[in-house]
A and B are shown apart, each in its own frame.
Chain A
Amino acid sequence: MSHDYGFFSFESKDEVLAKSKEFWNPGKTQFWIDEGVPLVIDRREGYFIYDMSGKRLIDTHLNGGTYNLGHRNPEVVSAIESAMTHFDIGNHHFPSLARTALAEALIAGAPPGLTKVVYGSGGGEAIDIALKTARHATQKRKIVSIVKAYHGHTGLAVATGDDRFSKLFLSEQPDDFPHVPFNDLAAMEEALVGRDVAAVIMETIPATYGFPLPNPGYLEAVKAMCERYDALYIADEVQTGLMRTGELWGISKHGISPDIMVTGKGISGGMYPISAVLVNEKAAGWLTEDGFGHISTFGGAEVGCIAALKSLEICSRPETRSMVHYISDLIGRGMRSIQDLYPDWFVGIRQNGVILGLEFADPQGAKFVMRRLYEHGVWAIFSTLDPRVLQFKPGLLLTPELCEELLDRAQVAIGLARDDVARAGRKAS
């Protein structure tokens, strides 16, 4: 069966995979084949993605929240279509209609104290902007992040993360980027006590590390320490923002007003890349001192701004909030009852709203579950930095029926994965 997409066509999925290796990324392409997830996403609609073979998958990876509102959310699509009759990317040097409108909307819904918005075109760039902003405001260089942090792969962001990704490109900067263990307040204090730190950057729940939950009071205490030792607190809300925790911003649930907050991914409904950094007055100085300090041609592209305005509006609706609370309740209860079936295998549920990290009793457990879920029509990804844990991120607008279906599929797949692990163990021993 030939696959003709108008703009291009392929004879078969095999041809795509072969050419993907040849012209794009052999490592990544092969990785997924080896992992038993030979997925080439074709059609996408709502919370469904379809492999080229036609296989339907419920997407609970959502690219870290990029597809919070579903794939090709019709409201976002129509907003962009309308926007394109009048706007394009815009000219990044000039004041702009759409950037201003989005900035005002972002600030209106932001934790108190945040007053200005800087735009990027992706999460990593936004993180770099946040870090540069903190350095400017404090006139200090050091950035503290947690061990196994993930804030993106751009120049500065990559240095805050696991050295797997910085070493590869000879980009580790351990002196300027100390890493401290998560949930360890003593280590944090030790890192800050010298008062030479510009900022602590912290995901409200570290996604790529498998969503370990901050201990009660941990983030609050880190924020207090930042104040004590003159460092800024940067909240990376790229994955935890936009209603995933049942509040628009996860950090608000902690009562924390960060100095800088970063959003990306879901902010534009997965239809047009854009990211944003929200800063308070303490941090905003460079925007007055030298407004051209950070330049990005695509940063804050106006079509993206309109996609973001629409997505932000949808996320902020009382209806959406209510549904997230319902979904989080149903999925949480469903997962706990699956856990009751396999307590020795499905050993933990980390949950805050529709952010879930599912822990399994094997160092690579989540990969087994991922494979079985894939086979049973669900796409969820293991945590790169802790493959025991499966990231499970149901959408914000799921229907009750689809949630029930998702739980049905998950129950069977998790059980089968347990048997797989047992078999693999027997073979190994």
Chain B
Amino acid sequence: MPELLVESAGVPRARAMVARAEWAARTFATYDKPSVDRIVRAAAKALADHAAEFAKAAVAETGFGVADHKALKNLACSTGLVDHYRDHDYVTPRIDVDAKIVEVPRPAGVIFALTPSTNPVATTSFKILLALMTRSAVIVSPHPLAKDVCSAAAKVMAEAALAAGAPDGVIQWVAEPSIPLINALMTDERVDVIVATGGSAVVRSAYRSGNPAIGVGPGNVPVLVDRTADIPAAAARIIESKSFDNSILCTNESVVIVESAVADKFVSAMVHEGGFLLNPEDRDRIRELVFPDGHFDIRFVGKDATWIAAEAGIRVPANTKVLIAPFDLAVPEEPLAHEKLCPVLGLIKVPTAARGIEVARAVLRITGAGHSAAIHSRDAQTVLAFGAGVPVYRVSVNVGNSLGSSGIHTNLAPSMTIGTGYAGRSSVGENLQPSHLIHWTRLAYNADVREVLPDFTGLSPWTAATGSVPPYPQASNLSTANVAPPRAQDDATELREEIRRLIVEELHQIIKG
């Protein structure tokens, strides 16, 4: 076999995708609001129609997570997201009469979106819809573990968007992701912004790429339950949230910190909800098993609590959802204080809420700064002290953190990408939302009162999308140019041939007649 030096497969194709995306973005940036709405709705619906199917496929392909929970997120990140932003407008110019400033939204252009294995379809849908709402083209690069289901998801959305009038190539995806390919795309100067969700390595290289980037850091969620909390409710919410999608999200609780005064009551309530309290020997066994040599064994990512217990030789009730592992000190050498991508929950008892805040800070010193934390309390003072003391940019209050921080059970921006801000080495501290993907051109009038702002109401620089974009390149002398052939889909050749035959037949008639 000769050794030929050939560029890594897919890299040239990926560059071609960026070139195509540039064209799509250029055209999409001129679409008006009704056209954009139509496209966004169509793409969201296409994903929602497959929510359950893609959820199952994601679990099957990655080997982790819970299909029902993923289906819920798929809906939340498709039609749910569109519904949430129903009254928002990222297209029409805004007029600030008092400031005498007119603001024209300008899309990012070409977005390179990396999606994780843990939330594959929901994040894919989320980022695609954010791009569409703000009129950018997007290239999705899924995590290699979830590439098939993400490609399938991107494809149904792309087809629906196209059918609704989106420019060709506005949604593209990398079917076979690889490190060289991702590097090539990240460093491609034609990419306007990288939106990276995934491991730290990916996020760091996004920031190193030289391109504008929005990447978010990891989580390691501490949750404080103080003596004023509604204990049964807190226990139920925490168990539900910790077991959500078998705890593979960056938003699942990692360590629960409880005030001693209510600890026993709280632990029994958690057990009642499906928690299983490990005794010290079993706790050590779980630690040994899940963190051999102190490092997390990825075999356990997103696995059921009962399966993990069985692997450790621990008998637990069949309805066990979460294994509760008590320990005393949150320090780096304690594996249970680290992020655990499986339904094992650390438990630390503290004498006071103030001490609890210190422990929460200790958890976040290990990892997860800037991300999220939760508190269950009825005391505003404590909630405020927690919020001010713990270095995160969102705190879920009296709600499970998995769906709380991601804005599904709170009124935060619904998001699969949790901005970890400067504390978490990110440029964005909010939940990623459409507004992060546009900048505004501000037409600023002379502040002098003699200079009057004319009436801009009803003016729009954008146009409605009509027909296929771009139009099929008919010969300029063809009177049949208005017979639009089918879109530039590779599998549409047959249909195209059929139409071609019909046209030719017609022409023959004309020539003969």
- Cα–Cα distance between A353 and B490 once the two chains are bound (Å): 18
Question: How far in angstroms is the closest Cβ of chain B from A270?
Answer: 17
- Contacting A at CB under 8 A, from B462-480, are 470-480
Within 8 A of B (CB), among A327-372: 327-329, 332, 349-353
If the complex has contacts A185-B511, A320-B16, A352-B473, are A326 and B27 also in contact, measured as CB distance less than 8 A? yes
- Whether the Cβ atoms of B508 and A350 lie closer than 8 Å is no
A217 touches B470 (CB 8 A): no
Q: Which residues of B contact A349 (CB under 8 A)?
A: 476
Could you tell me if B23 and A400 are in contact, using CB atoms closer than 8 angstroms? yes
Separation in Å of the A396 CB from the closest CB of chain B? 10
For A352, what are the chain B residues with a Cβ–Cβ distance below 8 Å? 473-476
Contact-residue bracket for chain A: 35 or more
Which A residue's beta carbon lies closest to that of B471? A329
Say whether A325 contacts B472, CB under 8 Å. Answer: yes
Given the contacts A216-B507, A220-B504, A321-B488, A245 and B473 also touching, CB distance less than 8 Å: yes
- Could you tell me if A322 and B169 are in contact, using CB atoms closer than 8 angstroms? yes
Chain A residue at smallest Cβ distance from B489: A318
Q: A317-B16, A318-B488, A323-B20 are in contact. Are A217 and B511 (CB under 8 A)?
A: yes
Whether B26 sits at the interface, judged by CB under 8 Å, is yes
Chain A residues with CB under 8 A of B17: 319
How far apart are the CA atoms of A41 and B239 in the complex, in Å? 73
A400 near B26: Cβ-Cβ < 8 Å: yes
> Which one of B1-9, B140-148, B406-414 is at the interface?
B1-9
Q: What is the chain A residue whose CB lies nearest that of B23? A: A326
On whether A254 and B470 interact (CB within 8 A), knowing A319-B16, A322-B488, the answer reads no
Min Cβ gap A258→B in Å is 15
B interface residues, how many (CB within 8 angstroms): 41
B246 to chain A, nearest CB (A): 38
- Majority secondary structure, A binding face: helix
Partner of B473, one of A317, A324, A350: A324
Query: In the complex, what residues of B have CB within 8 A of residue A327's CB?
Result: 23
User: Which residues of B are found within 8 Å of A245, using beta-carbon distances?
Assistant: 473, 475
Q: Are B4 and A215 in contact (CB under 8 A)?
A: no
Q: Does A39 contact B (CB under 8 A)?
A: no
Contact A318-B476, Cβ < 8 Å, known A185-B511, A255-B501: no
Count how many pairs of residues, one from A and one from B, have CB atoms less than 8 Å apart in the complex: 113
Q: Is B12 an interface residue (CB 8 A)?
A: yes
Interface 1/0s, chain B 20-44, versus A by CB < 8 A?
A: 1011101100000000000000000
Known: A86-B2, A319-B19, A322-B488. A215 touches B477 (CB 8 A): yes
B459 beta carbon closer than 8 Å to chain A = no
Chain A residues 395-409 with CB under 8 Å of chain B are: 397, 399-400
Interface residue A246 (Cβ < 8 Å from any Cβ of B)? yes
A221 to B16: give the CA distance in the assembly, Å.
Answer: 38
Contacts of B510 in A (CB 8 A): 216-217
Q: How far, in angstroms, from A397 to B6 measured CA to CA in the complex?
A: 21
Nearest-neighbour CB distance to chain B for A75, whole angstroms, equals 5
**B7 and A78 contacting across the interface, CB-CB below 8 Å:** yes
- Which residues from B are CB-within-8-Å of A332? 473, 476
In the bound complex, do residue B23 and residue A75 qualify as a contact, i.e. CB atoms below 8 Å apart?
A: no
Which residue from chain B places its CB closest to the CB of A352 in the assembled complex? B475
Query: Which residues of B sit under 8 angstroms from A319, Cβ to Cβ?
Result: 13, 16-17, 19-20, 169
Residue among A214, A216, A350 with max Cβ neighbours from chain B (10 Å)? A216
Say whether, besides A75-B12, A213-B475, A397 and B19 are in contact (CB < 8 Å): yes
Contacts A82-B6, A400-B22; A351 near B13 (Cβ below 8 A): no
The docked-state distance in angstroms from the alpha carbon of A332 to that of B213 is 36
Per-residue CB contact flags for chain A residues 228-261 toward chain B (1 = under 8 Å, else 0) read 0000000000000000011000000111000000
Q: In the bound complex, what is the Cα–Cα distance between A342 and B38 (angstroms)? A: 39
Give the chain A neighbours of B476 by CB distance below 8 A: 213, 332, 349-352
Q: What are the residues of chain B within 8 A of A255 when measuring CB–CB?
A: 497, 500-501, 504
Asked whether B339 is an interface residue with its Cβ less than 8 Å from the other chain, the reply is no
A253 to B501, CA, bound (A): 10
Chain A hits for B13, CB < 8 A = 317, 319
The interface residues of chain A lying within 8 Å CB-to-CB of B273 are none
> Once the chains are docked, how many angstroms separate the CA of A216 from the CA of B5?
48
Give residues of chain B (488-513) contacting chain A, Cβ–Cβ below 8 Å.
Answer: 488, 490, 497, 500-501, 504, 507-508, 510-511
Is B226 located at the chain interface by the 8 A CB criterion? Answer: no
Which A residues are CB-close (under 8 A) to B3?
Answer: 85
76-105 of chain A: CB within 8 A of chain B: 78-79, 81-83, 85-86
Residue B192 CB within 8 A of the other chain? no
Cβ of B245 under 8 Å from chain A: no
Q: Which of B4, B470, B490, B497 contacts A86 (CB 8 A)?
A: B4
Question: Do B27 and A216 touch across chains, with their CB atoms under 8 A apart?
Answer: no
CB neighbours (8 Å) of B490 from chain A are: 318
Most buried by B among A78, A246, A322, A397: A322
The interface residues of chain A lying within 8 Å CB-to-CB of B507 are 216-217, 220
Across the interface, which residues of A come within 8 angstroms of B27, CB to CB?
A: 326
Among A86, A329, A353: residue with most chain B CB under 10 A: A329
Is residue B168 within 8 Å, beta carbon to beta carbon, of the partner chain? Answer: yes
Given contacts A75-B12, A216-B507, A319-B17, whether A350 and B477 have CB atoms under 8 Å apart is yes
How many whole Å from A77's CB to the nearest CB in chain B?
A: 11
A404 CB, min distance to chain B CBs, angstroms: 9
Assess whether B471 is in contact with A216, with CB atoms less than 8 Å apart: no
Cβ of B504 and Cβ of A82 under 8 Å apart?
no
Q: Which residues of B contact A246 (CB under 8 A)?
A: 472-473
Minimum CB–CB distance from B219 to chain A (whole Å) comes to 37
What residues on B are CB-neighbors of A216 within 8 Å?
477-480, 507, 510
Pick from A78, A214, A326, A349 the residue with the most CB of B within 10 Å. Answer: A326
List 9 additional A-B contacts (Cβ < 8 Å) besides A319-B20, A350-B476. A85-B4, A213-B475, A213-B477, A216-B507, A217-B508, A245-B473, A317-B16, A325-B470, A399-B19
For the complex of A and B, the 6 pairs showing the least CB-CB separation, nearest first, are A217-B507, A246-B473, A319-B16, A326-B23, A329-B470, A351-B476
Listed by A's residue number, 7 A-B pairs whose Cβ atoms lie within 8 Å are A85-B3, A216-B480, A246-B472, A255-B497, A321-B488, A328-B470, A352-B475
Interface on B for A, CB 8 Å cutoff? 2-7, 12-13, 16-17, 19-20, 22-24, 26-27, 168-169, 190, 470-480, 488, 490, 497, 500-501, 504, 507-508, 510-511
